[in-house]
């Protein structure tokens, strides 16, 4: 038995030696390059690609069976002159003794100078499409592999590769139809030890260039790849990706780290411990340490992705939320997201993004802000509801929507509580220096003489807005129940409502701006019950009159006077054009106003007037005049605008003892005024009128004319007494006085003649009694 075993062992050793000698003989005496035609023919037959081996095929024998091939190229039979890929050098070697143990123990696999070129011409023809029969061959090969695999129950040989190296590879993709191109240059891929069902370390680095749009950058990738063949599970641990991208207005460095798990059976993908850091600039916005964290879960079959525990931070801003998206690969995309921020310094964040803000009156403005949003939508519609915004001491709630079409439409409705407007206005100037005054008086650049006053509204976006604010504070001005409602559509703007409650009353406006080439504007307004006491400041007569005697007459207590009453007005204006001259020349409309319950406090004009009239009449007043105010019996007016000419007719003001009427026009085209006022003393017309305050009948209704005329650019001497009209008034008064004197003289002469006639008749009656009887019968 032992002898038999010894013979059997010798037999095996003999076979091994013979095989070794055969292989050695093949290596030493057979040149592998003579098999190039057979190799290329076999490749074309089975893969239907053209394989070209220009360099020599070299091999080594012991202890590694090595193969090294230079200058290999592969092309499609459809485009044999346009290589699909070529390799400068490919080499690998396998440990011979491992073959006897059904092991594939491979040394370093090296691909040096790999170049892959994918081209598509203007007609849509590409160099990577293989003839149709190649697919049939592939199917046959796959079918044979499946049959052989199912038929064989033998365990597959184990695989060990010390490393795989791809050096200085290049990848080029050009699409003439889409006018796009992508190039990967100096691509290097390195792996660690490769074994079946064992983790493999992989690293990759390359520069890339993308055209239309032009993007260039560098990419670095590393990870530990674990692929379980039986469970069909892929895991990338310690995945790190660094991308340095540059384009027109973007220079951004992105670093990503995560753990990727992909179940190929269920098509479930998960990214755990996701961390994304960004630094750089986007359109002059500085991105400093922008970090994104979260967990991503995706069902690739259902096209469902969910991002939980989303955290975004930059500076002191922290954004938290979640995002869910469905059907993300096609037109049926839909998503839902909830986002909330902490309280952060908005001003500091904007400065970090290089967004320059103007200087505010409040030094603490925009240092506290927070946002909370719920967003859902698809590729056609996006809804944002609710919107919760807080900044400083102000809160804003509302909702919004975006319709994505050829012309996007944005609709927004917001409602705020309280806002101090001054906090966000430029600081008030303390004073102007002489140098500043000189610079202002002599500006370096002249303003255009006919500027564009109506802008061209955009047509590439539609906006619908409804913004309400409970209370706005501007200086000492309190604006309540504020609302702006309007829309912008196809370059036309409509103001449905602009309203506020102010000074105890209300203001409301509406209008529209339509037309791109020749815009047309209409604007309407209404003022209701504005309390003038709150509008007009108190007036100190001392600031205007430097005469104690007159001051004592006007206001014995020297109190400040103020005007009160309810102002009502309404107007309607239309115009067209874009330049200032056009807008003025085409301005038309009308307006009217009146003052209800008007009164001037701390000034009794009736007493002052009657004192003056009594002085002229050389009489003493008997009335007491205890009132300390003067009531407006009427104050109203109407304005008509035609082609830039503003006409006021009439203006009426009536107070006890005085009536003022005015009319005239202001030509905005020429910036001139021609306006006249007539003041008429009416005296005391009360039921118990004071005799001393009666106007002589000759002077009742006689106006005192005042005229304002000339250029509005020269305010000095603009208004004066109308000497021409005053002359006519005096002439009329003189004529009336002459007529009155002549009438009196005539009356006196009539009385004298009548007295003489009566005396003569009396004498005749005494002489002739018959005449007396005749006159008696006649009378």
Residue 69: what pLDDT? Answer: 82
List Cβ neighbours of 189 (8 Å cut-off, separation of 6 or more).
Answer: 164, 165, 166, 169, 202, 203, 204
319 is written with which tokens? 């954004």
Residue 383 lies in a domain: no
Longest Cα pair distance anywhere in the chain, in angstroms?
214
DSSP 611-676: HHHHHHHT---------SEEE-SEEEEEEEEETTEEEEEEEEEEETTEEEEEEEEEETTTTEEEEE
Residue 688: what pLDDT? Answer: 56
Q: Is the pLDDT of residue 8 over 50?
A: no
Residue 318's pLDDT band, with cuts at 50, 70 and 90, is very high
The residue written with tokens 């409040």 in the block is 362
Listed residue (87, 111, 274, 264) closest to 191, CA to CA: 111
> Quick one: 111 and 43 in the same domain?
yes
> Quick one: 68 and 103 in the same domain?
yes
Residue 548's pLDDT band, with cuts at 50, 70 and 90, is low
d(CA 258, CA 29): 54
Q: Is the pLDDT of residue 485 over 50?
A: yes
Residue 778: what pLDDT? Answer: 38
Residue 771's pLDDT band, with cuts at 50, 70 and 90, is very low
CA–CA–CA angle 733, 738, 739 (5° rounding): 95
DSSP 579-602: BHHHHHHT-EEEEEEEEEEEEEET
User: What mean pLDDT do residues 32-50 have?
Assistant: 70
Domain that holds residue 125: 36-130+157-212
Residue 750: what pLDDT? Answer: 66
DSSP 235-304: EEEEEEEEEEEEETTEEEEEEEEEEEEEETTTTEEEEEEEEEEEEEEETTEEEEEEEEEEEEEEETTTTE
d(CA 591, CA 192): 87
> Quick one: 2 and 97 in the same domain?
no
User: What mean pLDDT do residues 455-476 have?
Assistant: 93
Q: Mutual orientation of helices 132-151 and 36-47 as an angle, nearest 10°?
A: 90
84 is written with which tokens? 């699909």
Residue 688 lies in a domain: no
CA–CA–CA angle 267, 271, 272 (5° rounding): 135
Residue 75: what pLDDT? Answer: 83
pLDDT digits (tens, 9 = 90+) for 702-756: 677 778 888 887 766 677 765 565 555 555 555 555 556 666 666 666 666 666 6
d(CA 591, CA 575): 15
Q: Is the pLDDT of residue 773 over 80?
A: no
Domain end, chosen from 212, 239, 255, is at 212
HSE of 359 in the Cβ direction (CA atoms, 13 Å)?
A: 4
Domain end, chosen from 194, 212, 230, is at 212
Residue 474 lies in a domain: no
d(CA 163, CA 503): 84
List Cβ neighbours of 618 (8 Å cut-off, separation of 6 or more).
Answer: none
Q: Is the pLDDT of residue 387 over 80?
A: yes
Q: Is the pLDDT of residue 30 over 80?
A: no
List Cβ neighbours of 458 (8 Å cut-off, separation of 6 or more).
Answer: 488, 491
Peptide bond into 470 cis (omega under 30): no
Cα 201 from chain centre: 48
> Quick one: 112 and 192 in the same domain?
yes
Structural domain tally of the chain? 3
Residue 83 lies in a domain: yes
Residue 766: what pLDDT? Answer: 61
Residue 2: what pLDDT? Answer: 44
Residue 85: what pLDDT? Answer: 84
- Which stretches within 384-505 are classed as H helix? 434-441
> Quick one: 183 and 74 in the same domain?
yes
User: What mean pLDDT do residues 146-166 have?
Assistant: 67
d(CA 607, CA 629): 10
- List 485's β-bridge partners, or say none: 466, 497
Higher per-residue pLDDT: 639 or 435: 639
Residue 157's pLDDT band, with cuts at 50, 70 and 90, is low
d(CA 205, CA 89): 20
Collapse the DSSP code of 330 into the 3-class scheme (helix H, G, I; strand E, B; otherwise coil) and give the result. coil
Domain end, chosen from 168, 185, 212, is at 212
> Quick one: 4 and 74 in the same domain?
no
Residue 384: what pLDDT? Answer: 96
> Quick one: 106 and 47 in the same domain?
yes
Residue 400 lies in a domain: no
> Quick one: 42 and 91 in the same domain?
yes
pLDDT over 90 for what percent of the chain? Answer: 40
> Quick one: 171 and 87 in the same domain?
yes
Residue 593 lies in a domain: no
> Quick one: 40 and 81 in the same domain?
yes
Of 271-280, 467-476, 707-716, minimum mean pLDDT range: 707-716
Of 102-106, 762-766, 768-772, minimum mean pLDDT range: 768-772
Residue 12: what pLDDT? Answer: 40
Q: Is the pLDDT of residue 392 over 90?
A: yes
Residue 122's pLDDT band, with cuts at 50, 70 and 90, is confident
Q: Is the pLDDT of residue 444 over 80?
A: no
- What spatial distance separates the first Cα and last Cα of the chain, rounded to whole Å? 197
Q: Is the pLDDT of residue 576 over 50?
A: yes
pLDDT digits (tens, 9 = 90+) for 218-252: 999 999 999 888 888 999 999 999 999 998 888 89
pLDDT digits (tens, 9 = 90+) for 597-617: 888 888 777 777 777 667 666
Residue 586's pLDDT band, with cuts at 50, 70 and 90, is very high
List Cβ neighbours of 144 (8 Å cut-off, separation of 6 or more).
Answer: none
Cα 508 from chain centre: 25
d(CA 632, CA 566): 11
> Quick one: 18 and 101 in the same domain?
no
User: What mean pLDDT do residues 173-192 have?
Assistant: 91
pTM for the model: 0.69
Residue 229 lies in a domain: no
> Quick one: 42 and 121 in the same domain?
yes
d(CA 532, CA 634): 15
Residue 85 lies in a domain: yes
pLDDT digits (tens, 9 = 90+) for 401-439: 999 988 999 999 999 999 999 999 998 876 544 455 444
d(CA 620, CA 601): 26
Residue 240: what pLDDT? Answer: 95
User: What mean pLDDT do residues 520-532 have?
Assistant: 94
């Amino acid at each position: 038995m032992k002898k038999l075993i010894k013979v059997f062992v010798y037999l095996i050793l003999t076979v091994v030696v013979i095989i070794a000698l055969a292989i050695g003989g093949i290596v030493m005496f057979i040149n592998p390059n003579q098999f190039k035609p057979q190799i290329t023919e076999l490749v074309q037959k089975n893969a239907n690609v053209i394989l070209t081996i220009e360099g020599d095929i070299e091999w080594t024998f012991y202890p590694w069976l090595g193969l090294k091939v230079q200058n290999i190229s592969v092309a499609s039979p459809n485009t044999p002159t346009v290589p699909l890929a070529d390799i400068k050098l490919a080499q690998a070697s396998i440990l011979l003794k491992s073959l006897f143990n059904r092991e594939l123990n491979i040394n370093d696999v090296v691909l040096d100078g790999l170049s892959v070129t994918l081209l598509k011409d203007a007609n849509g023809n590409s160099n990577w499409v293989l003839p149709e029969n190649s697919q049939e061959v592939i199917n046959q090969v796959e079918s044979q592999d499946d049959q052989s695999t199912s038929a064989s129950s033998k365990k597959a040989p184990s695989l060990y590769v010390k490393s795989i190296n791809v050096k200085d590879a290049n990848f080029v993709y050009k699409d003439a139809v889409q006018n796009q191109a992508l190039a990967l240059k100096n691509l290097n891929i390195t792996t660690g030890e490769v074994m079946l069902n064992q983790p493999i370390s992989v690293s990759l680095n390359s520069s890339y260039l993308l055209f239309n749009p032009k993007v260039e950058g560098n990419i670095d990738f590393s990870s530990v790849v674990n692929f379980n063949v039986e469970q069909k599970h892929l895991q990338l641990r310690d995945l790190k990706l660094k991308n340095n991208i540059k384009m027109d207005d973007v220079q951004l460095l992105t670093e990503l780290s995560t753990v990727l798990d992909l179940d190929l059976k269920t098509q479930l993908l998960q990214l755990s411990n996701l961390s994304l850091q960004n630094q750089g600039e986007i359109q002059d916005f500085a991105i400093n340490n922008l970090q994104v964290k979260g967990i991503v879960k995706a069902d690739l079959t259902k096209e469902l992705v969910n991002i939980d525990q989303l955290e975004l931070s930059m500076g002191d801003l922290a954004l938290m939320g979640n995002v869910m998206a469905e059907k993300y690969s096609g037109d049926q995309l839909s998503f839902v997201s909830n986002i909330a921020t902490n309280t952060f310094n908005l001003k500091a964040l904007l400065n970090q993004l290089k967004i320059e803000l103007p200087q505010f009156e409040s030094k603490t403005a925009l240092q506290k802000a927070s946002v909370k949003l719920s967003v859902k939508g698809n590729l056609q519609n996006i809804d944002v509801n609710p919107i919760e915004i807080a900044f400083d001491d102000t809160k804003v709630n509302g909702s919004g929507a975006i319709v994505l079409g050829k012309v996007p439409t944005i609709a927004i409705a917001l409602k705020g509580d309280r806002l101090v407007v001054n906090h966000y206005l430029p600081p008030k100037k303390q004073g102007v220096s002489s140098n500043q005054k000189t610079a202002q008086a002599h500006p370096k650049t002249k303003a255009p003489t006919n500027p564009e006053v109506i802008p061209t509204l955009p047509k590439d976006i539609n906006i619908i807005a409804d913004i309400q604010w409970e209370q706005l504070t501007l200086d000492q001005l309190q604006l309540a129940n504020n609302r702006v409602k309007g829309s912008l559509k196809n370059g036309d703007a409509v103001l449905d409502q602009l309203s506020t409650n102010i000074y105890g009353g209300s203001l409301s406006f509406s209008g529209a701006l339509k037309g791109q080439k020749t815009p047309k504007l209409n604007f309407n307004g209404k003022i209701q019950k504005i309390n003038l006491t709150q509008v007009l400041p108190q007036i100190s007569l001392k600031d205007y009159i430097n005469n104690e005697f007159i001051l004592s007459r006007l206001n014995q207590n020297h109190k400040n006077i103020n005007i009160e009453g309810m102002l009502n007005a309404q107007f309607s204006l239309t115009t067209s054009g874009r330049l200032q001259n056009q807008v003025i020349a085409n301005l038309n409309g009308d307006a009217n106003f009146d003052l209800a319950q008007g009164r001037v406090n701390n000034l009794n004009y009736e007493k002052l007037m009657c004192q003056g009239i009594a002085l002229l009449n050389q009489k003493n007043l008997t009335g007491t005049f205890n009132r300390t105010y003067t009531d407006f019996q009427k104050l109203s007016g109407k304005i008509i605008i035609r082609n830039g000419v503003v006409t006021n007719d009439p203006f009426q003001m009536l107070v006890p003892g005085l009536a003022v009427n005015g009319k005239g026009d202001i030509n905005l085209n020429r910036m001139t005024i021609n306006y006249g006022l007539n003041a008429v003393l009416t005296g005391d017309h009360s039921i118990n009128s004071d005799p001393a305050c009666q106007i002589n009948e000759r002077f009742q209704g006689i106006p005192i004319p005042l005229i304002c005329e000339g250029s509005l650019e020269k305010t000095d001497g603009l208004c004066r007494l109308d000497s021409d009209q005053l002359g006519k008034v005096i002439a009329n008064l003189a004529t009336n006085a002459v007529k009155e004197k002549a009438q009196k003289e005539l009356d006196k002469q009539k009385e004298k003649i009548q007295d003489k006639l009566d005396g003569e008749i009396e004498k005749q009656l005494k002489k002739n009694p018959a005449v007396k009887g005749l006159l008696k019968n006649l009378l």
